[in-house]
Structure 1
């Protein structure tokens, strides 16, 4: 590891300041976090250390998280513009993208939106090809209401339970060191929920960028089914299952697979 890390900010189209860090040398790769993740908390910083041996890797705080600012009102396109600013001003004009969970949907949205993305890899994008029933609970409204009532911790736990996080991963969350940071970004969980409905299924059928769609062998059938479905829609999509845990794969397993894909090497 031991790669030098440079920090900086770029300014998005609406004036939002997006904080990032860059390490390594080689073709640029941008890592896109899931709900609740940012540079100080989540898998991307350690994954970047593995990939920096071969690539210039950028990790960043999505808007409203960490050291990035926020601008209302939120719209998924604003996050695409954040990625455009990173590509233009920090990555040299083009980049590969890796996205995890809702960050995977954001990466797909950016690629289908015409950003100069060279290659794409996504881990378990929660993308479902169906309309939400009027009878289904409105999770975004629930989170908004809890945050407005000052119940940020309850909002985080309600989100986790509602998306199917196993109970053993939720138990004791309030006592963990990262709990205050999770509460601080509770409002951004609505952003991720909004993203999930922003990507038209038809857009995937025209995306010709080489795309690797990954899932973990220990994830549930719903997550793995979503990954297979996305791969099947993509003209240049390829699906692969990796050893891992529920909704996650270790850096030691994931990094070599991503490196092969981003370098265009056969696996």
Structure 2
């Protein structure tokens, strides 16, 4: 068995630091790097790309709404063409820093409110798909199984990658519980690690009502901004390795 382990990185800004990117880049196999709209400044983006390349971690563009104050977690009702242009801008910015570091952007993953919106929002899903198609149709896209985003991406001929979340609660419908709800973010490293093994084995996840949500995942996300993120990522990686699951980027399969 093989599975990718990804994390949201490059989310510091100026003197404000978030997460331990250096430690996480020694554990994960793919890095969803902020592109400056929800987090990250040029220096942070360049440094994160350099550290990713040094650790042989695949670089992905984590695109989001232009919402620094809200960390990209607030929905913005945008014209589709405007959203397409914003996403192209973000991919291009990160790709420049990735190339300076000796690699390139190798996939795209939406962030925060945009990620959740395009599970069902058809217009915005189509707008983000169009951005990737125009920039580089060979780039795989990462998202929630069953989402409008992945369906439209597949229809456009893009390669789609199914993602599961190590440290987020699921609804019975297979969507993520809002961060405004209690228990939306999980914190116990061993319980999270055991859950990730079940995901890797194709056994699904237990939803908030106790039912099992069927889930096939190519990549598991451990959020870099969660308290104890490094401890959680290490526990997940160790538990998967002990069970014989190889951690490998989905882009190299």
Q: Radius of gyration: which is bigger? A: 1
Bin of the TM-score, shorter chain as denominator length: 0.3 to 0.5
TM-score (norm: length of structure 2):
0.33
Which fold has the larger relative contact order, with Cα–Cα distance below 8 Å and residues 6 or more apart in sequence? 2
TM-score normalized with structure 1 length: 0.32
